Amino acid sequence: CHKMNPSGGAGASNAMHDAIALANRINGLPFHPIASEIEAAFKEYQEERIGWVEAAFENSKMMRNMVGQSMSSKITRTIIKRVPTWLMRKMASQQYCHRPQVAFLPLIEDKGSFRPAHQPSLSVKAPQEKSTTVFAANEIDQLPTAV
């Protein structure tokens, strides 16, 4: 559960990012996973997401402070207005570089202004079904052979 200030949209964004990372991990599980494999997938999901969630929570606290009416809020707004453009761009690059994709769907071409951050769950692949085709003895002679 991520308690974030709703004014920045971080809660909704993180919910979607959580769903993507967890779906990638679940999709990568074997066809009949055992409890330890499921637990490992959840642990990997948590490890992938915790840093992003903590950063979003800190940004949410700052956003809450910026929209408040206290003296501290007014000072924060005054300072933010005077931050150099290059520094604002650097701060934005850290915030907007996390654009996770679903591993089991065609990837979307990246057209962002900032290079996307590494997404560990994107490399998780779904297991492949093993062929269970059974041939009758007379069908084996009809199979093509390699030359």
- Is residue 28 included in any domain, yes or no? yes
Helices 10-27 and 35-67: angle between axes, nearest 10 degrees: 170
- Is residue 48 included in any domain, yes or no? yes
Q: Which of 7, 4, 10, 9 is nearest to 68 (CA)?
A: 7
By mean pLDDT, which of 33-42, 44-53, 87-96, 119-128 is the weakest?
Answer: 87-96
- Is residue 117 included in any domain, yes or no? no
- Is residue 125 included in any domain, yes or no? no
- Is residue 120 included in any domain, yes or no? no
- Is residue 75 included in any domain, yes or no? yes
pLDDT, one tens digit per residue, over 45-102 is: 999 999 999 988 888 888 887 888 999 989 988 998 999 999 988 888 877 888 899 9
- Is residue 60 included in any domain, yes or no? yes
Higher pLDDT, 131 or 104: 104
For the chain, what's the residue count?
Answer: 147
Quote the pLDDT of residue 43.
Answer: 98
How many domains is the chain built from?
1
Query: How far, in Å, are 74, 130, 135, 139 from residue 147 at the CA level?
Result: 80, 25, 21, 19
Q: Which domain holds residue 3?
A: 1-97
Mean pLDDT of the chain: 85
pTM over 0.85: no
- Is residue 134 included in any domain, yes or no? no
